[in-house]
A and B are shown apart, each in its own frame.
Chain A
Amino acid sequence: MDSIYGDFFRRLARNKLAMVGLSVVVILCLVAIFADRLAPYSPTMIDTSKILVEPSWEHPMGTDILGRDVLSRIIHGAGVSLSVGFVAVGISTLIGVVLGAVAGYYSGMVDRVIMRFVDIMLCFPTFFLILAVIAFLQPSIWNIMIVIGVTSWMNVTRLVRAEFLSLRERDFVLAAISQGASDLRVIFAHILPNAMAPVLVAATLGVAAAVLVESSLSFLGLGVQPPNPSWGNMLTEGKDNIEIAWWLSLFPGLAIFITVMGYNLLGEGIRDILDPRLRQ
Chain B
Amino acid sequence: MGPYILKRIFLMIPVLLGITILSFGVMKLAPGDPTSILTDLNPNMNKEAVERIRAHYGLDQPSYVQYFKWLKNMLVLDFGRSFASDNRPVIDKIVERIPITLLINVLSMILILMVAIPLGVMSAVKQNSLFDKGTTVFVFIGFAIPTFWLALLLMILFGVKLDWLPISGFRSLDYPSLSFFEKIFDVSKHLILPIFVSAFGGLAGMSRYMRSNMLEVIRQDYITTARAKGLDERTVIFKHALRNALLPVITLLGLSVPGLIGGSVIFETIFAIPGMGQLFYQAVMMRDYPTVMGILVIGAVLTLLGNLLADVMYSWADPRIRVSG
Residues of A within 8 A of B (CB): 116-117, 119-129, 131-137, 208, 212, 215-216, 219-222, 235, 238-239, 242-243, 246, 249-250, 252-253, 256-257, 260-261, 264-265
Q: Are A135 and B287 in contact, with the CB atoms below 8 A? A: yes
Q: Are B303 and A137 in contact, with the CB atoms below 8 A? A: no
Add 18 more A-B contacts to A127-B262, A135-B287, A136-B31 (CB < 8 A): A119-B15, A124-B300, A124-B303, A132-B23, A133-B29, A135-B285, A135-B292, A137-B31, A208-B143, A208-B144, A216-B146, A216-B147, A216-B148, A220-B265, A220-B266, A239-B152, A242-B156, A246-B156
Docked Cα-Cα span, A125 to B265, in Å, equals: 11
Nearest-CB distance from B143 to chain A (Å)? 6
Docked Cα-Cα span, A235 to B269, in Å, equals: 14
Which residues of the partner chain A approach B289 to less than 8 Å between Cβ atoms? 135-136
Query: A interface, by DSSP: helix, strand, loop or mixed?
Result: helix
Which residues of the partner chain B approach A126 to less than 8 Å between Cβ atoms? 258-259, 262
Residues of B within 8 A of A (CB): 14-15, 18-19, 22-23, 26-27, 29-31, 140-141, 143-149, 152-153, 155-156, 159-160, 167, 258-259, 261-263, 265-266, 269-270, 280-281, 283-285, 287, 289, 292-293, 295-296, 299-301, 303-304, 307
Known contacts A128-B295, A131-B265, A242-B156, A256 near B149 by CB under 8 Å: yes
Docked Cα-Cα span, A56 to B287, in Å, equals: 42
Which residues of the partner chain B approach A235 to less than 8 Å between Cβ atoms? 148-149, 152
Docked Cα-Cα span, A219 to B266, in Å, equals: 9
Q: Are A221 and B285 in contact, with the CB atoms below 8 A? A: yes
Q: Are A253 and B152 in contact, with the CB atoms below 8 A? A: yes
Docked Cα-Cα span, A116 to B283, in Å, equals: 30
Which residues of the partner chain A approach B140 to less than 8 Å between Cβ atoms? 261, 264-265
Nearest-CB distance from B304 to chain A (Å)? 5
Q: Are B284 and A120 in contact, with the CB atoms below 8 A? A: no
Docked Cα-Cα span, A119 to B22, in Å, equals: 12
Docked Cα-Cα span, A249 to B154, in Å, equals: 11
Q: Are A132 and B296 in contact, with the CB atoms below 8 A? A: yes
Docked Cα-Cα span, A264 to B289, in Å, equals: 36
Q: Which 9 A-B pairs have the closest CB atoms?
A: A253-B149, A125-B262, A127-B262, A120-B18, A261-B144, A135-B284, A125-B258, A260-B144, A136-B30
Which residues of the partner chain A approach B143 to less than 8 Å between Cβ atoms? 208, 260, 264
Nearest-CB distance from B278 to chain A (Å)? 11
Q: Are A249 and B153 in contact, with the CB atoms below 8 A? A: yes
Q: Are A256 and B29 in contact, with the CB atoms below 8 A? A: no
Name the residue of chain B whose CB is nearest to the CB of A205.
B143
The winner among A132, A253, A256 for most chain B CB atoms within 10 A is A132
Nearest-CB distance from A158 to chain B (Å)? 12
Known contacts A124-B299, A125-B262, A135-B292, A242 near B27 by CB under 8 Å: no
